Amino acid sequence: MIPAAFDYVRAESAAEAISALTEHGEDAKLLAGGHSLLPLMKLRLATPSVLVDIGRVPDLSYVRDEGDHVAIGALTRHHDVNHSPVLAQHVPLLALVAGKVGDPQVRHRGTIGGSIAHADPASDLPAAVLALGGSMVARGPNGDRVIPATEFFQGFLETALAPDEMLTEIRVPKAAGGHSYQKFVRRAQDWAMVGVAVARSNGSTGVSLVNMGATPLRATAVEQALAGGASAAEAAEVADQGADPSGDPNASPEFRRHLARVLTRRALEEAGL
């Protein structure tokens, strides 16, 4: 299908993009790689009157070691996240997951910030950032604010970003311990029917689920079971507690719950638990 008519603005800086968002309000949408927004526009599920292109903003693509955490610019391509030596050393889970996003074309054009801000519960990177205990930096006309991942994802394709804010940076604590990402797909480039991300650091384990509800979910029951001394197999049995998976032509809710338990066990075992 053909998208509805819209005006196009190319921003040369984050300040220009925020100014455009402030001017046009909820009628404006940011465009980075376009792999999430454009399909919705073609289906008329999103009909912004103004697209603000931030794809060429020069200062939002980076991976930096910031001491106790790694900072990733929102416009960093999936390919660059996947091949970052800083992430390979300090946050290998994030590098691993970025390499499993879509296909090579998507990974060379799509951005980590676009994936996080789109907040699709079937997407890989939001769950990874959630398992790592990461946070997002939102910039608006009044400056920056830091939003924990546990508060950022608020509903289906909904985040804590205000209409006049843009995501500029993702921060993840260093977690170089055992990790794993397991997902079940029909074809390599498909969205996950279910996915599980596991990250170990400083004696604690973060576990999150993909496509098991309206948002990416922390598997808190699994984390609590592990903290109480449960084995990987025992903890995996409660992986679907608190989840609310939907049904579709690919999988029923019951099958997704089964997959969550199976994939959680595999992920925990691969992470060394």
Sheet of 179-184, strand order: 179-184, 194-201, 204-210, 217-218
Q: pLDDT category, 257, cuts 50, 70, 90?
A: very high
Give the fold, CATH level 3, of 63-173.
3.30.465
216: confidence class by pLDDT, cuts 50, 70, 90: very high
pTM score: 0.92
Please indicate whether residue 47 or residue 222 has the higher confidence score (pLDDT). 222
* List of residues 6+ apart from 225 with CB closer than 8 A: 234, 235, 238
Q: What is the pLDDT of residue 195?
A: 97
pLDDT of 182 above 90: yes
Segment 137-159 shows an average pLDDT of 96
- Among 32-36, 111-115, 218-222, the minimum mean pLDDT is found in 32-36
> Can you give the pLDDT at residue 44?
86
Q: Do domains 63-173 and 179-270 have the same CATH topology?
A: no
What average pLDDT does the segment 169-187 reach? 94
Q: Where are the domains of the chain?
A: 7-53, 63-173, 179-270
Task: For the chain, give the mean pLDDT.
Answer: 93
pLDDT band at 241 (very low <50, low <70, confident <90, very high): very high
Domain made up of 179-270: CATH architecture: 2-Layer Sandwich (3.30)
| Fold adopted by 7-53 | 3.30.43
What is residue 203's predicted lDDT score, i.e. its pLDDT?
Answer: 85
Q: Give percent above pLDDT 70 in the chain.
A: 100
The reported pLDDT for the residue numbered 35 is 75
pLDDT tens for residues 14-64? 999 999 899 988 888 888 877 778 888 888 888 888 889 998 888 999 999
pLDDT of residue 142: 92
Confidence band, pLDDT 50/70/90 cuts, at residue 6: confident
